[in-house]
Every structure is written in C-alpha cells, then in structure tokens.
Amino acid sequence: MQQVSMLTPSGLATRRIPAPEQPIGMGLIRWGRHEEICTPAYWASQGWMLEMEEPEHYRLGETLAEETLACLLGGYGIPAEVGLAAYRRLRDVMRADAEALKNQFVVERLLRDPLVVNGRPVRYRFAAQKARYVSTAMVALEDIDDRIGDCALRNALVSIPGIGPKTASWIVRNWRGSDEVSILDIHILRAGAILGIFREDWRVERHYLLLESAYLEFARSIGIRASILDSVMWASMREIPAALLKSMLEKADSAKTRRGNSSKLDVTTQLTLI
C-alpha cells in the first residue's frame, strides 16, 4: 500500500492507495506511484486532496444563465483568464438588465471593448461569433426546465446553437457539481491517452459518449468523483511543459504497442481483465 498525507486545519489527514504494481480491479492498468504525474495513483491522491480542500469549487455563476454565459465565453482558443474577464463584464451587465444580453449587438460591443487581464489590455477573440451564441442562449434558456436530471439538462443545452457536448457538460458539471457527465477538453483527452483508457480510434467529435463512459468508469475505479477528477486533470495537464508532455504521450504509445491488441479493447476490458 501507498500512503498519502496532507495537513488540514483539523490535523494530518491520510489516505491509503493500492501498491504501484497492483492492477485497478483485475485490469491491465496498474496504479503506479502516487508521486509520479499522470498515474492512476497520482490522480487518486490529487483528487482526494482537492476534495478535502475545495469540495464544491466549480460554480462560477449564481444562475443557470450565468453559468452558461461563463462556459460559452471560455473554452478552446480562449485563455481561462480572458474568458473569466469577459464573463465578469457581461455578467455585471446582465445583473443590471436581464434583457441586455439577448441583443447580439450589445454583446458584441461589450466583447470588442478591450479587457484588462493581469493589468494589461487584451482583446477577446471571436467576438462576433460568441456574441451570436450568447444572445441565442440567453433566449433559449427560458424554455429549459432547470429541474430535469443532469444528462437530460446536458441534452437540452446541446440543442442550443453554439453549445456542443463539451460545453454543455461543462455547464452541467459547474452548475450541478455533476458526476454524470465529463468535460472532454484537450487536457482530459491527453490524460486519458497517457493512462491508456481511451481507444486509439475514438474521436471526440464522433465518440463523445464512449470517451465519457471510459472516463467515468476510470473515476469510479480509483474512487474519485468524476467532477473532482476533471478539475485536477485540467489544472495539472495545462501546467506540464510541452517537451515533457510529448515524451509522456510517446511513452504511452510505446506501452500500447508492447501490449499488442490490448489497445483495441474497450475501457471495461482494460479495467476488469488481466
């Protein structure tokens, strides 16, 4: 067994994790060492520590509309700091006038004005496109029942132009603290590739639900809430230097080659068979 410790306000907390060579369940994937980044043991220990420190850290908005706004303004091609700055500006306008962001041209004007990020002016990319998405979403949300289940809410959000499965999952995860969906951004996909939990022929554009199922099964297998694991993976993977990340991905590819046909097995087989 491995022991992980952290200091909390109430004293020293510890968690035991299976030995490095022990498989997860009866599977092909080994736990690895908890101090080695991207091993299952590493994600289990980091997820445990985050949940101890910040169990409910996701939510950015006070309403579903605000959470949708935050997620629409972030994502691919938008640095997190820039997306948050744009969100705060538009959120403040929406709180003053609930109807304002339903006007595409109002939103575009707000996004085109330079933002201040870390003390310097920054321009928001894709202002016209995001303005169209935001204004459309603010109208469409009026017809969505916020009381439906997590997956049903995700499906309802996907019906809004400009919101795909990843963004919809992001909204639901943040708003509900949901462990029934996953945000399959590039960081999570890379972490999964290094772990070996995704099939090589799966593509996020065509196989989102298969990738999501594999990710959720992995989270259950290491005993960490999917929503917590998502946050830990996102924060850790984006900090790995490019050269090291490339090396880790190449090492993962080599491991798949050595295992032969195992890379073609589905995630349930990977985690439950030797």
Nearest to 15 by CA among 39, 37, 43: 43
Which pLDDT does position 133 carry in this prediction? 98
Phi and psi of 198, rounded to 5°? Answer: -110, 140
CA dist., res. 21 & res. 73, Å (int)? 43
Judge contact between 195 and 214, C-beta under 8 A: no
* CB contact at 8 A, 167 and 75: yes
Q: Render pLDDT for 146-204 as a digit per residue (tens, 0 to 9).
A: 999 999 999 999 999 999 999 999 999 999 999 999 999 999 999 999 999 999 899 99
pTM of the model: 0.84
**Cβ count within 10 A of residue 136:** 17
Containing H/E element for 218? helix 208-221
Pick the CATH number of 64-176 from 1.10.730.10, 1.10.340.30, 3.40.50.720, 3.40.50.300: 1.10.340.30
106-111 CB contacts, 8 Å cutoff, 24+ apart:
106/135, 107/131, 107/134, 107/135, 111/86
Is residue 129 scored above 70 in pLDDT? yes
Name the pLDDT band for 260 (thresholds 50, 70, 90).
Answer: low
Distance between CA atoms of 20 and 2, rounded to whole angstroms?
8
Angstrom distance (rounded) from CA 266 to CA 227:
22
Decide: helix, strand or coil at residue 33.
coil
Domain ranges of the chain: 2-55+183-272, 64-176
Please tell me the total number of residues recorded for the chain in this structure.
Answer: 274
Instruction: Please name which of 157, 108, 148 lies closest in space to residue 129, comparing C-alpha atoms.
Output: 108
pLDDT, one tens digit per residue, over 44-64 is 999 999 988 876 667 899 999
What does the pLDDT look like over 194-243, one tens digit per residue? 999 999 899 999 999 999 999 999 999 999 999 999 999 999 999 999 99
Q: How far apart are CA 215 and CA 188, in angstroms?
A: 9
Q: Phi, psi (5° rounding) for residue 270?
A: -55, -40
Tokens 């994790």 belong to 17
